[in-house]
Amino acid sequence: MAYIGLRKPIFASARDDGTYDEPMALGKAISLEITTNFAEASLSADDGQAEYVKEFTNADVTLGTSTIPIAAMKPIFGHAAEVSGGAVVYNKDDQNSNVAMAVVAPEIIDDVRTFVAIFLPKVKFGDPSDSWETKGDSITFKTPSISGKASANDAGVWKETATFKTEQEAMTWIYGKFGYSIGTLQVQSAASETEVGKTKLTVTPEKGQSNSYFYKITEDETMPAYNEVCNASTGWTSWDGTSEITAETGKKIVVAEVTTEGGTAKKAGSATVAAKAE
């Protein structure tokens, strides 16, 4: 294994029925260390080792991240948090909870880059470790880290990994482990009645009241992953849901319904463009 990076730390609260709350990002990944712990025993007989047993008990997990969002304080550590005001109250009786976490680790073998998705279904973290120092002649970044224990779930699974050709495929697999996937939009394209080179889109079902649309014109119909950021900085164009769009007949147009805050994709669909000819 030749890992060349780490990205996309995600967590979700574990429910009693084995499902998870909606996943959220845990800042940006800086480092991750997973150390497996075992219980061992040996039996000596006839002046030699007759039996030896080594079984998984748990794993020490330490995640370094760029930040720990206020919204993560309650589900991970049990601290009362006011997300809008940015206030967190730390009480001695607060109880941390089991969560699932996942990351993506790019890997290169024989000059071929792949993306390894790592999923831990049951982890309990302690409060983050922080350090501060005054600013001197140079600036030093200080970032938080959290440590905890990974244990096996009811099925006996404590870690899962899968390797993919693209990061998007890895993220789709990860969100699938959390029980979430991109929803479906039905997109239809019809040639504009008035303007050459434009198409009129019809999208169903209607978007959520607090969501918005973004689109991308491509050669294929690759859908965004669930919670993938779709905005101008990632190559998508904002759309109001009614305006006609300039596009070339035969191209593919992908429409994503995204959250207004964060711009993360919840639903997506595509169509083959039909534009008004000259």
For residue range 208-243, what is the model confidence (pLDDT) as tens digits? 889 999 999 998 878 898 999 999 999 999 999 999
The domain total for the chain is 2
Asked if residue 47 belongs to a domain, the reply is no
Tell me, yes or no, whether 152 and 62 share the same domain.
Answer: yes
Integer Cα distance of 76 and 14 in angstroms: 10
Q: 43 φ, ψ to 5°? A: -120, 125
pTM of the full structure: 0.81
Range of the domain at 223: 183-272
Tell me, yes or no, whether 133 and 101 share the same domain.
Answer: yes
Tell me, yes or no, whether 139 and 126 share the same domain.
Answer: yes
**What are 158-211's pLDDT values in tens digits?**
999 999 999 989 999 999 999 999 999 999 999 999 999 999 999 999 998 899
Integer Cα distance of 163 and 104 in angstroms: 9
Last residue of one domain, picked from the residues 124, 143, 178: 178
User: What is the four-CA torsion angle of 118, 120, 124, 130, rounded to 10 degrees?
Assistant: 0
User: What is the four-CA torsion angle of 61, 178, 26, 22, rounded to 10 degrees?
Assistant: -140
**What are 89-100's pLDDT values in tens digits?**
888 888 888 999
Coil, helix or strand for 220? coil
Tell me, yes or no, whether 187 and 162 share the same domain.
Answer: no
Asked if residue 46 belongs to a domain, the reply is no
